[in-house]
Structure 1
Amino acid sequence: MMITALKEKKETKTFISNTKFEVADIFSEYGEAFIGKHPLPLSSIKVMKAIMACRTEFIGGHLQQCDDCGHEMIVFNSCRDRHCPKCQTGARARWLEKRSAELLPLTYFHLVFTLPHELNPIALCNKEVICKLLFQAVSKTLLQFGKNNLDGKVGFIAVLHTWDQKLLDHFHLHCLIPGGALSFDSTTWIHANNNYLFNVKALAKVYRGKFMDYLNKAFQQDKLNFPGKTQPFGTQDGFTELTNQVWQKKWVVYAKPSLPGPKPVLAYLAGYVHRVAISNHRIIQVEKGMVTFVYKDRNDNNSLKEMTITSDEFIRRFLIHIMPKDFMRIRYYGFLANRAKKKDLPICRELLKVKAPKPTTQQKTTVELLMEVIGVDVTKCPRCKKGTMKMITEIPSLKKHFSLSDVFHLSPITDTS
């Protein structure tokens, strides 16, 4: 009876997301068949099930009632998985609130470090190792340039993305760097040029050298796996041939336009942190085993185009971007490193003659943060637009009554094939 009541009110899910098609729908309709044809690690299956169960009766929720017109609606709980397209707004808002206290009144620079696509097959089979090497090579490069060019310690945030607009594998780091450095004796702030930080061609050469050195060491220490099609690279000759080919490639470090001041930086950061491979609003059609989504064509002035692929290919592309458990996609370095900023940030503010932000006496609620980020009061009644929705009862999770395989059948879309 509870299941029937919940399914009758399932249209209330659209209050949270007005998207017609979702990644969860694709998993629900085609995921079980995909798993039957393709062996997957348990971690990928868990992510699929979390996304399908998100904001459904499977993980429970609560019944709300408007205190003005009496309208009732069910709001189901979120899965909070970091790969879920519906669960990132709150996490992003919390992250931005913390980072706002660390911003300095400076020009910020955005640098993007990419891996050559020739390394993608190895990276996909050794995701944790290769991504760690990527963070290591980029951080060492930027810290070295800060030392050599500014004679001080720079600070920066690095965010890992593994995808491009077509959901294909594209490993790269976005780095946001305040324009300047703290002297090594912590007595002086060294300003960078507002329009120029470091030479990107020089950065690319040093970054390439560091990454390839780390990659060779990982190979010699047997830290890399070479299954399937990557097996030829597992021999010394095959690996040497690959690395020689990669050495001859032009490695890319891209400098995006600089950002003046803290407010533009915060708005800019919101577009890069806690992002997943594809958001639901980009999916425009799911029909007859095919998925159509919108992407930006970087080679055509970022014009919006449509791409249609099979549901199997869509699921495959989405799953290759699942990160290992506990792997940190956002990291901090220099005077912004977690171990250093408690000491270094107050010194930076003192040298820049800016006051520290007032400590917040009370942590903002999720509702308040969402209001700031998306400009929508999620507590307002969707019917009368006046009253406030109040929780009147909790709805228990149905996990006890469902096996995990039943999640695949919670909310499938209708296939007309």
Structure 2
Amino acid sequence: DIAHQNKREIYNLLMRASADAVIRIAADPKHLGARVGVTSVLHTWGSAMTHHPHVHMIVPGGGLSEDGTKWIACRKNFFLSVRVLSRLYRRLILDGLSRLHKAGKLRFFGDHAKLADLAVFDAFLQPLRKIDWVVYAKEPFAGPKAVLAYLSRYTHRVAISNSRLIRVDDRGVTFRVKDYRITGPGRHTTMTLKTDEFIRRFLIHVLPKGQHRIRHYGFFGNGNRTANIARIRELLGAETPVPGLAHDNTIEDADAPARVLALPCPCCGGRLIIVDTFAPAQHPRAPPASARAAA
């Protein structure tokens, strides 16, 4: 609820705290002792389009040494302790909330208006310091293609895709949902919401103007990313890709003098198919006039 009423501040805190937790623990010599890189993607929804802010992160299995002279790889199938990550993440979030409140950057409405008082807000946070928080870490990807497939699914998603919509009628909107608390056949079911409630839930996930859903931290930071990646490739003996060439996504044409680059779709990440082109100052062809022609 606090995040719903303070989207910009809480979403920024969520992304910073999650990245800082990983970067700090990874830099500790007792854990990995390396500078790592993080790509973070903000999601704000659950399967039923309820408000559920969380961050998906992709982190390489290792990092640069402090002096940048070597690559430090993590252990096989183990990156960092989720127990240690969870405790640091809890502290960063709760301390960040306290700082935002003291700086007067949080607003409270309705039933939460009383939280505007600092003493009430501190009492509200106190139980959260004593319970376990959970950071979920998945096993490594099965190669670079799996990483790209994951990114294409998550980076440009909206709260619900057309493929989950089943029916729209006088009763409302029916769509597929997944209950993550259930394992087995009953996990996938359907839900029907009245039209105005469906629209309300969808609009919850419209981000504040200028909010960035995808952010890069550590050695992926924009200021030094190019130099860091070049150094990592050198340390790992990896081939440097030639700019402008697509090694996997190319279209072979016997009549063409060179391979044509297949651009990714900006929405889904799949291959972008060009269906028509027109020259500057030329009007595109109008769509078919009849339904039969369109079919």
How many residues align structurally? 266
Partners of 1:131 and 1:244 lie apart in 2 by 21
Instruction: Give unpaired runs (5+ residues) of structure 2.
Output: 251-259, 287-295
Q: How is 1:223-238 mapped onto 2 (pairs within 5 angstroms)?
A: 223-238=105-120
Contact 2:32 2:80 in 1 (8 A): no
Q: CA deviation at 1:369?
A: 2.6
- Superposition TM-score, scaled by structure 1 size: 0.60
Partners of 2:51 and 2:167 lie apart in 1 by 23
For residue 322 of structure 1, what is the aligned residue in structure 2?
206
Query: Any idea what the Cα deviations from partners look like across 1:150-176, whole Å, max 9, x if unmatched?
Result: 212000101100111010011111110
Q: CA deviation at 1:300?
A: 2.0
Partners of 1:135 and 1:159 lie apart in 2 by 8
Q: How is 1:203-282 mapped onto 2 (pairs within 5 angstroms)?
A: 203-282=85-164
2:194 to 295, 300, 310: 310
For residue 240 of structure 2, what is the aligned residue in structure 1?
356
* Equivalent position amino acid for 2:218 in 1: G
SS in 2 for 1:278: coil
Tell me which protein shows more strand as a share of its residues.
1
For residue 202 of structure 1, what is the aligned residue in structure 2?
84
Q: CA deviation at 1:248?
A: 3.0
- Superposition TM-score, scaled by structure 2 size: 0.83
For residue 133 of structure 1, what is the aligned residue in structure 2?
13
Tell me which protein shows more helix as a share of its residues.
1
Query: Any idea what the Cα deviations from partners look like across 1:258-313, whole Å, max 9, x if unmatched?
Result: 11321111112111111111111211111114111101221223732101111121
* Equivalent position amino acid for 1:223 in 2: K
Contact 2:263 2:271 in 1 (8 A): no
Partners of 2:261 and 2:70 lie apart in 1 by 39
For residue 369 of structure 1, what is the aligned residue in structure 2?
264
* Equivalent position amino acid for 2:21 in 1: T
Partners of 1:238 and 1:259 lie apart in 2 by 44
SS in 2 for 1:162: strand
SS in 1 for 2:141: strand
Contact 2:172 2:193 in 1 (8 A): yes
1:142 to 15, 19, 22: 22
* Equivalent position amino acid for 1:208 in 2: R
Q: How many percent identity over aligned positions?
A: 36
For residue 184 of structure 1, what is the aligned residue in structure 2?
66
Query: Any idea what the Cα deviations from partners look like across 1:118-149, whole Å, max 9, x if unmatched?
Result: xxx11001000001111121121111111112
Partners of 1:189 and 1:350 lie apart in 2 by 10
Partners of 2:155 and 2:3 lie apart in 1 by 22
Query: Any idea what the Cα deviations from partners look like across 1:150-208, whole Å, max 9, x if unmatched?
Result: 21200010110011101001111111000001011110100111201011111111000
Structure showing greater relative contact order (alpha-carbon pairs closer than 8 Å, 6 or more residues apart): 1
Partners of 2:99 and 2:117 lie apart in 1 by 14
Instruction: Give unpaired runs (5+ residues) of structure 1.
Output: 1-120, 380-388, 397-417
Q: How is 1:86-97 mapped onto 2 (pairs within 5 angstroms)?
A: none
For residue 293 of structure 2, what is the aligned residue in structure 1?
none
